[in-house]
Structure 1
Amino acid sequence: MSVVVSSISKVFESQKAVNDISFSLKKGEIVGFLGPNGAGKSTTMKMLTGFYKPTEGSILVNGIDMLTSQIEAQKSIGYLPEHNPLYTEMYVREYLQYQASIFKVEKSEITTVIEKVGLTSESHKKIYQLSKGYQQRVGLAAAILHNPSVLILDEPTTGLDPNQLVEIRALIKELGKDKTVLLSTHIMQEVEAVCDRVIILNKGEIVIDKPIAELKTSTEQFIKVTFDYKLEEQFIKRLPNITSYKNTSENNWTLVFNSKEDMRPKIFDFAQENGLKILGLNAENKNLENLFRELTS
């Protein structure tokens, strides 16, 4: 495994931002790291990069302990933080030369990286002259300049237009072929398009860690139904194959079933048996956005 996180927690004064989480990441895997604001995503990423030290637990990067050998572990990591810190008055090549000097990277690598991230046509410009999309490319170029085996990307597509979004997604997928990528984002479609696996964090704890393919083949069904009468919870529990439910307003319910069978006819039968009328019914396919709402609401 490229990264092994074991029972890490982070406490800021009296607030526990991350609570005893464990996971591992392997080479050639792009993992989506999701959660609502304040869930602990950025704090976890900062611990993985060595910016924060965990209050408890351990982090291994390519077998190197981040706590005892921080500099050595950081050599294997490329990090693009949420707010991309660039010296915008510098030229693109000038900035990357500066980064190369920090990592003791041969200057010949700069041209290679510029080509890889698609910056060749813009490399003669000052960074402030670039669009948001190209500035993100500069940040990615700096993150991969020393050829790290692990990439940690915190909201890399924030503020991009649809064309820039597609380009950066393609670049991340290409980079993920021979690196380990941990990608934080609020855009569910991005995770479904790019990632192999998803980890969802809520209130500092992991609530799910599954391959995307497994989620797509799930037998769970989300059905929103409106009855003409307010039902008690005990009646809803009688529905077959129901796994969870939520009374969203007086007569409205969101129901979750686990079955290969379409459960809508069962809901109609249930209504008829109990003398109810259905005023509205809408079935939703199980997707990441549904799952995210279910686990973090």
Structure 2
Amino acid sequence: MSIEVNNISKNYGTQKALDGVSFSIQKGEIVGFLGPNGAGKSTLMKILTTYIAADEGHASVNGFDVNDQQKSVQQSIGYLPEHNPLYLDLYVREYLEFNADVFGVAKNRIEEVIVLTGLTAESHKKIAQLSKGYRQRVGLANALLHNPDVLILDEPTTGLDPNQLLEIREVIRNVGKDKTVFLSTHIMQEVEAICDRVIIIDQGKIVTDKKLDTAIAAHQEQVIEVEFDRVVTDDALANLPHLVSKLNTGANVWELTFLSSSDMRSTVFDFAQNNGLKTLQLNQKNKNLETLFREVTRK
């Protein structure tokens, strides 16, 4: 296994950040790691990168124990933390040359990662001159310098605009073809676009660990978008069976979320008929990772 986590727990004073977390990731998988703020994502990544130690349990990366073989773990992973630490007064190539010396890798590897991460046109600039998207590319290039088998990326797309998101997504997808990638993010679309498996953590516990398509299909939450011909009150809609949330998205259009394995469109249609309403549109929206996330982390 590329990553093995067995019954990991971590406390910060009286707060339990991780509570008996276990999972394994095979070589070549791209795994999305999701959870609400404070769920324990960054804590687990810091444990896997040997930055902090767990209170209980064991973990290994590429067969190296994160407690007893820290140097070997560090040499076998590429890590891009949430707050990408860069020396802004250095030029891109200068920064990568410095880190190449730290890792003890050949200088020709610098050109390889520059090309791989799309930095060629910006490589002559100081890092301070780069946009957030290109700074993230520099961080990713640095994580790839020593050609690690495992990439651990903590919120790699934070603060990027839509164009930069697409660019970084493509870079991660390309490097993930021959590496194991463990990716933490709040952006569901990134996981859907990049990952083939999702692990969701909530309050320090794993609540979902499945192949992405299987995980989405297995959950029964569905979203119905309906437009009535006139105003409908919250109280009236509250009588719909299996309704878990409702959102007025404009005029008389509602987004209704149900927890049921049955197609609820007929129920909404009957509701309209019984209340003297007409349905101008009635659509079932596709299940996606966001609906799954809301379901498994709903308090």
Shorter-normalised TM range: 0.7 to 0.9
The residue number in structure 2 matching 1:256 is 259
- Matched positions, count: 284
Which consecutive unaligned segments of at least 5 residues does structure 1 have? Answer: none
The aligned amino acid for 1:11 is N
The residue number in structure 1 matching 2:20 is 20
CA gap of 1:219–1:48, structure 2 versus 1, over 3 A, is closer
1:230-253 residue CA offsets vs partner (Å, 9 max, x unmatched): 58x9x87xx6xx6xx53669xx97
**Paired residues of 1:36 and 1:202 also in contact (CA < 8 A):** yes
Which consecutive unaligned segments of at least 5 residues does structure 2 have? Answer: 248-254
2: CA distance, partners of 1:186 / 1:19 = 21
TM-score, structure 1 as length reference? 0.86
**Paired residues of 2:216 and 2:292 also in contact (CA < 8 A):** no
2: CA distance, partners of 1:91 / 1:109 = 17
**Paired residues of 1:228 and 1:278 also in contact (CA < 8 A):** no
CA gap of 1:98–1:279, structure 2 versus 1, over 3 A, is farther
Sequence identity (%): 58
1:203-222 residue CA offsets vs partner (Å, 9 max, x unmatched): 11111111112145447333
1:117-157 residue CA offsets vs partner (Å, 9 max, x unmatched): 11111111111011111111110011010111110111111
The aligned amino acid for 2:93 is R
**Paired residues of 1:268 and 1:278 also in contact (CA < 8 A):** no
CA gap of 1:255–1:217, structure 2 versus 1, over 3 A, is closer
Deviation for aligned residue 1:263: 2.7
The aligned amino acid for 1:258 is S
Alignment of 1:1-297 (within 5 A): 1-218=1-218, 220=220, 221-223=222-224, 245-246=243-244, 254-259=257-262, 262-269=263-270, 283-297=284-298
RMSD: 2.7
1: CA distance, partners of 2:80 / 2:59 = 19
2: CA distance, partners of 1:254 / 1:182 = 31
1: CA distance, partners of 2:114 / 2:256 = 52
Q: Which runs of 4+ in 1 moved over 3 A?
A: 215-219, 222-231, 266-272, 275-284
**Paired residues of 2:9 and 2:19 also in contact (CA < 8 A):** yes
